[in-house]
Amino acid sequence: MKVDKTCVGCGQCAAFCPYDAIVVFGRAFMNEKCVECGICVEYCPACAISEDK
Ligand code: SF4
Ligand code: SF4
């Protein structure tokens, strides 16, 4: 998954990720626990997350 510049650091994605794969430091970063399920994409109010890899 990829987070683009429109991320506002709200933490919604981290709250809803069932795999605890997102940390937010100013903006969101995915870690190695991400299984590419796509759930976070649906919860981002800024539409900042997309499938990339
Ligand atoms: S794609 Fe799924 S596992 Fe990866 S960060 Fe988003 S919600 Fe978490
Ligand atoms: S939900 Fe979207 S805007 Fe909020 S921290 Fe996650 S990627 Fe950034």
Task: Give the domain CATH number at 10.
Answer: 3.30.70.20
Contacts by 13-21, CB closer than 8 A, 24 or more apart:
13/40, 13/43, 13/44, 13/49, 15/43, 16/40, 16/43
Quote the ligand 1 centre to 21 CA distance (angstroms).
6
- How far apart are the CA of 22 and the centre of ligand 2, in A? 10
- Residue 35: domain span: 2-50
pLDDT of residue 8: 98
Question: Looking at residue 53, what is its pLDDT?
Answer: 57
- Residue 30 CB less than 6 A away from ligand 1: yes
pTM: 0.93
- Domain total for the chain? 1
| Parts of the chain with a pLDDT under 50 | none
What are the φ and ψ backbone dihedral angles of 42, each rounded to 5 degrees? -70, -25
